[in-house]
Amino acid sequence: MENIKLLNYMSSPISVSTRDKNLLIAPCVDGVPGFEYFTEREIEYINSVSTVLRTGALEFEEDIRDKMYRKLSIPDWETRCLFENDLDDMLLHPSLATMQRIVDITDLISIERVRGHVVRLIANQADVSVKVRDIVNKRFEEINRGERKSKIVLSPAVPKKTAAEEEIAELKAMVRLLMEEKEKEKTVAEAEPQSAEADDKTVDTKKLVTSTARRKSTKKTQKVVEG
């Protein structure tokens, strides 16, 4: 593999240096990337003196991408490299994983690339969320202060309920209230016969006491008369 094509999908040219020459790789125009050919040794040298390959600013053709990154000892290229054609989708359809990739950026050029995409998307009236803009801007400020490790802590977004889900939740709440009301009515109904039975027992006890008292009174009267 002697001739390896490096692609530039950015809207500005990128300068690279080999041991023997300095080159300016043309920018992308109308979706067609600028490119230059290099030998494998030149690629290794470029990677040793620049971050353009490790950050994804310059790209390999897809069919040799994995092979070349492994040769350059960048096995985690899929999460480390930020490719131009992926950035818009990352910003417009963010996930916890893609936002973490932005938070993990450590170099100024890469975060400026991301900010450039945010500015362009907003200028084109694309819907870039406030949260995404805040994360990008905060990471940009951190890197400018020399903070390689970000203090930004991401948390999963709480999914919003759809109208149908909210309606179902309301119906469930109504059913639960109705069940609670029926349970209360059942408890009251079961308690009423017991209360009536208790009243009957109280009346019977009173009658027994009264009857006993009368008998005792009659006996005392009989003794007095006999005496």
Q: Single out the residue of 161, 160, 163, 137 nearest to residue 150, CA to CA.
A: 137
CA distance 135 to 21: 39
Long-range contacts of 124-132 (CB under 8 A, 24+ apart): 126/88, 126/92, 127/92, 128/91, 128/92, 129/94, 131/94, 132/91, 132/94, 132/99
Q: What share of the chain in percent tops pLDDT 70?
A: 80
Q: Has residue 184 got a pLDDT over 60?
A: yes
Q: Has residue 13 got a pLDDT over 80?
A: yes
Give the pLDDT of residue 208: 56
Q: Has residue 45 got a pLDDT over 70?
A: yes
Q: What are phi and psi of 15, to 5 degrees?
A: -95, 135
Determine the 3-state secondary structure of 94 from DSSP: coil
pTM exceeds cut of 0.75: no
Determine the 3-state secondary structure of 37 from DSSP: strand
Q: What are phi and psi of 36, to 5 degrees?
A: -145, 155
pLDDT in tens, 47-61: 999 999 999 999 999
What is the mean pLDDT of the segment spanning 89-95? 95
Residue 63 tokens, joined: 């069919």
Per-domain residue ranges of the chain: 1-81, 84-157
**Greatest extent of the chain over all pairs of C-alpha atoms, in Å:** 149
